[in-house]
Amino acid sequence: MGTDRYAYQSRLRRVSPLPKLLLTAVAMLVCLCCDSIPVGLATLAAMGALVTALGGLSPRVFLHFLKIPLVFMVVGCLTMVVGSYPPGTPVLAALPVGGRLWGVTAEGLLLGGRIFCKALGAIGCMYFLALNTPVTDLTIALERLHVPRLMVELMELIYRFIFVLSDTAAHIRVAQESRLGYRGWRCSLTSLGALASMVFLRAWRKADRIYTALESRGYTGSLSTLTDSYRPGWGLLPLTALVAAGQVGIWLLERMAAA
């Protein structure tokens, strides 16, 4: 599902999740704090290079994933950029509507561009984590960071059940579609309602059966699993420092150029 499939194929899959988490967190934080166009773009480029060169993901797949959050960002930034101004404001492009100018000023464009590029950088960082670390590894990392045991267990169970339930939902959907269940709006709504409630019902009954199965195997209230053996991944630590230094360097250069 989504990024998970590629995370399992990544070359960094066997590396301990903690250094990967650290790299993501540091790069994301620095990118957000710098709040500049070049740093955002550089972060995205660095993360793209790391995901493709270290993780072994094809650039095409990375670009495909990059497109997913783009719609929201474009809508959000356009909403910010386009505004109404009193007549006489220096604008780049505008239409006079009802005595006010509706359009884009240079300042607004710069602000929108800054937020857009900053968000792109942050998304790159998030993908470095998501495309190299399967969720099962991430839950182990969270446990090591002393997230409560119950929370981690809930996460593990939910992760597993997501696949079970979406399988069920996909089967029901195919069955409904082959019986023309999605012709027209009314029909779709009824079918979708039936689908959702049946998935809920099956989930409920399946949970019951799973619990019975667990109890018959000596379940005493916690699911314990063995962790995989990881490579320590010390090599990622200097890389983290390097990325952060690069980001700060670009930011300083930009400040100097502006001053």
Partner 1 sequence: MKQTTVRTARAMALLIALLGLTTMSASAMHIAEGMLPVPWAIGWGAVCVPFVVAGFFAIKKKVEQAPRAKILLAMCGAFAFVLSALKIPSVSGSCSHPTGVGLGAILFGPLVMTVLGLIVLLFQALLLAHGGLTTLGANLFSMAIAGPILAWAVYQLLRRVKAPAAVAVFAAAALGDLFTYVVTSVQLGVVIGGMVKFLTIFAVTQIPLAIAEGLLTVVIFNVLEKYSRDELRQLAVL
Query: Taking CB under 8 A as the criterion, which residues in 158-217 touch partner 1?
Result: 158-162, 164-166, 169, 182, 185, 188-190, 192-201, 203-204, 206-208, 210-211, 214
Residues 31, 118: contact at Cβ < 8 Å? yes
Per-residue x/- track, 217-256, partner 1 (CB under 8 A): --x-x-----------------------------------
From candidates 93, 97, 154, 175, binder to partner 1 by CB under 8 A? 154
Q: Could you give the CA distance from residue 135 to residue 163 in angstroms, rounded to a whole number?
A: 13
Asked if 39 interacts with partner 1 (CB under 8 A), we say: no
The long-range contacts involving 155-159, CB below 8 angstroms and separated by at least 24 positions, are: 156/223, 156/225, 157/223, 159/135
Residue 233, Ramachandran bin (φ over 0: left; ψ between -120 and 50: alpha; else beta): left
The site that binds partner 1 (CB under 8 A) totals a number of residues, namely 78
Choose between 212 and 234: whose C-beta lies nearer to partner 1: 212
Positive or negative: CA dihedral 54, 159, 209, 203: negative
Amino acid of residue 259: A
Span near partner 1 by CB under 8 A; candidates 53-61, 65-73, 228-236, 240-248: 65-73
Choose between 28 and 232: whose C-beta lies nearer to partner 1: 28
Q: Which residues contact 166 (CB under 8 A, 6 or more apart)?
A: 1
Q: How far is the CB of 223 from partner 1 (least distance, A)?
A: 9
Q: How far is the CB of 238 from partner 1 (least distance, A)?
A: 23
